[in-house]
Structure 1
């Protein structure tokens, strides 16, 4: 009887481990996609008259608009620049950075003027259909 209970406990642990892996494999896959996207953004050289003002941030979340299960991938790059809105926007749009599946959308969030230039956060984003990532359902 003791052998039977040990065998059943082993089966139960194997099933739980399998379910754990099944649930986390899409998470690991989407984290790798986010990391690759982040590396592509950081590989772009800074525009002239521009410097980084902090660490970039990478975030994966549920897409708040539309229907279905979609992950929203976003990279935020805090900068200080002497360039105009049009110049820095054109620079990053011309770079045509590949997001997770499509060309990344670029958005500029302008801050206040500083002695080093004007603060801006360049946001790169992409939306991708998620099949099993529980963070996006």
Structure 2
């Protein structure tokens, strides 16, 4: 896997923070933006989308991953997640991202300051993640 450049990581963080305002979170008011960098250098953004049937809510990380996969991405290199307080992805998102990026860099971004609070490989967030046939 190619290492992301500082310029790519900066773009990823800015994208995650900026896209956050498009989140649909009328129930929790917890707005999340995510941006994924693939191995081709492309960036894909996503936001959380809540639903009155709470189980149908989708997280920003999975929205961004869906956009990436739809565009033909085969490997995730990095993901930035922007939330107030720099929250980590939920367990479902960790597993979802693991499929195409077990070693991808995860950048936790405080959306209020725009600063990266923590960076670590995804497999530190999800040790012993599950993948079939890869």
Normalized against structure 1, the TM-score is what? 0.32
**Structure with greater Cα Rg:** 1
Q: Which has the higher contact order (CA 8 A, sep 6+)?
A: 1
Choose between structure 1 and 2: higher helix proportion.
1
